[in-house]
Amino acid sequence: MRKLILLLLPLSIFAQDSWVRFQVQFDFYAPTESNFFMVSDASGDTSMFYQPTTQYEYLDTVIDVFSGDYTISLNDSYGDGWTSTNPASFRMGNTCQGPILHWDPIVGSFFQRDSTITILPCPPPGPPPACVQTVVLINLDQYPEETSWDIKDSLGNILLSGGTYPNVPDYQPQVIINCLPVGELTFTIYDIYGDGLEGSLWGGQNGSYYVVQCGDTLVNGVDPSFGQDSTHVFTSDTCVPPPPIFGCMDDDYVEYDPSATDDNGSCATLKIYGCIDSTMFNYDPLANSMENIDQCSYDLILHDLVGNGWVGTRLEIYQDDDTSIFVMTGGFNQVFTLDLYAPALVSAKLFISQQAQSTSIECGFTLIGPEGDTAISVLPPSIVPFVLYEGFTYCGNICQEKIYGCMDSTAYNYSDTANVADFCYWFPGCASPAYVEYHNDTTNGYITDFNVIDSCFNLATFGCMDSTAYNYDNTANVDNGGCLPIVLGCMESLAFNFNPLANTPDTCIALTYGCTDATMFNYDASANTDDNSCIPFVFGCTDSTAFNYNPIANADNNSCTPFILGCTDPSMLNYSPTANTEDFSCIAYIYGCMDSTALNYSPLSNTDNGSCISIVVGCMDQSAYNYSADVNLNDPVSCLYSAGCVTGDGIPYWLNDLCYAWVIDVDNYCCDNEWDEVCQLTYNYCEGSYNGSIPTRTGNYKKLTKITDILGRPSKQLYNKMLFYIYSDGTVEKRLIKR
């Protein structure tokens, strides 16, 4: 595999008093054009320099620094800035200052962009939250201005988003690389028009979308017909290495296991290479390992659904430290020849550029060997850029097929291609089976049934004539077909490797009892004979202080969960979904109106049920002039009653007291304008100072002509104020009407 060198240089070696976190998203051209560095203004030392090595690389790192002033410099050798159809960004900060410098996104052209910052003293941060490097690929259709997407956490917070893309060329893939937190996440893609990414409906090409972590495709949006939106829930998790596979890791031994990751000392038998197929001509009975052909030519077939070729797209084929790079142009179904080693791992990765358009949904490739085996095959539209595809090469073995025939050039049926001697015949010949020269070939229609002079001269001695056979007979001159192969093996019946078929002694191995199952908890690598003592792995939490402690577990699977106290009843008001242990703090729902200003306010309620009734204040007396059926809180003071008469100005009188209205209108005599004894007695009755009967008014009475205050100024009838009442007969009364 090609080696990538990460240039990340915090250069200060002394104890610093602060720190800073960099989160940088580079663009497509970053490996050849971009870098950034941070220089101390006080010392001139370079505290940070970074040069990306891959397209769309995402950097998330923390370095220790001295507090003080620094200059941040972003550089682009081409002069067009960190810009492409996939926007770049630059963020730095710490927990003490928060954001220190944020360019998100980075826009505009520049060879160099500088900024001066100040870093304050800040204690070292705690361990960063776990996150996973995530690749989001959006293959747009011909309407990029309609498409957008986001990734949310379980609380609905947006962690990452993009679109719409009004200024992006049609079909341009969008690649976003970022570090997302572990846990359950939700990816949603939207289309404003409601036709998804189904560009083929309008004479164009369909789009697609993918979310990839740790080489695994978690969201596979190959179907473009999602309409308005499409939601996918996936679990973001750290890239956990697979469990160890124990075995022999030395390929010079027969016991070699190519899948093993941990050597268990099981390598015992050195390989002897040769043809181990006993049906083949060059079968080697001493060999124990097939000798394979170590190099051959493979066909790399490039597929393209549209036929416009792989414009701007790069396919890299890796084998060991060698890299074959192909930049594709032209049409579809092109074939290239690659000389590859075998048997060996071969890897492939697709890289897309800004000009690649819809390569990732229309292209694919197949790597086929000379034997017709397929090492790697990814057909459109299933290929995912930046994901490593792997397979194994095979070029065949050295075994040669047996070709039976007569190998005697003097014989009638001589074959120059035969490598295994078969019957030769001459016609006529020796007809006596007692002689070596006897021949009777009925399969080919020749029967030698009479002797020719000097045809029979060597008496036959039947036996095994194969010198490599166990029962080889060096005196035989005619093979009887009874040759037995040499079978090496231990011939001691009490040995571990006793072979009842062996006819030739070989090394014996003593019995060693134990658990021989490598998948068991008590597996014994030194044992060769199982004693039925194997104990299976029981995975679980082995921490007795944990909530989910498993007393029968013998292998911890890192699943231990601490006790979390809280209300575990989902029907309760204070239910805690994260709690796993009841603390009896649950509070029941009490529904009611919680608005203290409402008519039906319930002070004991903790959950509003929408039943609040707004207070409407007014007159609830149906006999009042201003009675309202909409009123639910009576204000008797506001009630108005008809006095039945008018003022001197002809305006009807409305009073807020029924009794006083009666005083004003007693026997149709308006006391407002004329006051007499009857008016006074009626007034006293309403005030509660008179309980007698009200006399009937007879004759003409003096009429009130004027009311003044003690200074002689005209006045209206007022309460709780000394006033002078002047009548038509010239009399004056001094009155204080209390209320």
Quickly list DSSP for 448-471: --S--TTS--SB--EEB--TTBTT
Predicted structure pTM score: 0.43
pLDDT at 644: 58
Residue 259 — pLDDT band, cuts 50, 70, 90? Answer: confident
Q: Looking at 32-41, 84-93, 347-356, which range is the least confident one?
A: 347-356
Report which of 225, 147, 199 is spatially closest to residue 306, judged by C-alpha positions: 199
Q: Looking at 408-422, 424-438, 446-460, 584-598, which range is the least confident one?
A: 446-460
Q: What is the pLDDT of residues 682-739, one digit of tens each?
A: 777 777 777 777 776 655 555 667 888 888 888 877 778 888 878 767 788 887 876 5
Residue 8 — pLDDT band, cuts 50, 70, 90? Answer: very low
Distance, in Å, from the CA atom of 30 to the CA atom of 51, rounded to the nearest integer, reads: 8
For residue 280, the 8-state DSSP code is B
Q: Looking at 433-442, 647-656, 717-726, which range is the least confident one?
A: 647-656
Tell me if 314 sits within 8 A of 325, measured CB to CB.
yes
Tokens 């997407």 locate to: 149
Burial class (CB in 10 A: 0-12, 13-18, 19+), 672: buried
pLDDT at 4: 30
pLDDT at 352: 65
pLDDT at 163: 85
pLDDT at 388: 79
Distance, in Å, from the CA atom of 66 to the CA atom of 16, rounded to the nearest integer, reads: 5
Tell me if 426 sits within 8 A of 448, measured CB to CB.
yes
Residue range 344-364: average pLDDT? Answer: 69
Residue range 344-367: average pLDDT? Answer: 71
Report which of 287, 406, 415, 300 is spatially closest to residue 346, judged by C-alpha positions: 300
Distance, in Å, from the CA atom of 491 to the CA atom of 504, rounded to the nearest integer, reads: 8
pLDDT at 410: 72
Residue range 8-26: average pLDDT? Answer: 71
Element (H, E) at 685: helix 677-687
Per the DSSP assignment, residues forming a β-bridge with 179 are 133
The most confident of the ranges 33-47, 125-139, 231-245, 306-320 is 33-47
Residue 573 clears pLDDT 80, i.e. is over it: yes
pLDDT at 35: 93
Residue 345 clears pLDDT 90, i.e. is over it: no
Q: What is the pLDDT of residues 309-335, one digit of tens each?
A: 676 677 888 887 655 555 555 455 678
Other beta carbons less than 10 A from residue 102's beta carbon: 12
Tell me if 322 sits within 8 A of 351, measured CB to CB.
no
pLDDT at 195: 93
pLDDT at 226: 92
Residue range 245-270: average pLDDT? Answer: 90
pLDDT at 666: 58
Residue range 85-108: average pLDDT? Answer: 87
For residue 307, the 8-state DSSP code is S
Residue 305 clears pLDDT 80, i.e. is over it: no
Those residues with Cβ within 8 angstroms of residue 3's Cβ, 6 or more apart along the chain or in another chain? 321
pLDDT at 332: 59
Residue 497 clears pLDDT 60, i.e. is over it: yes
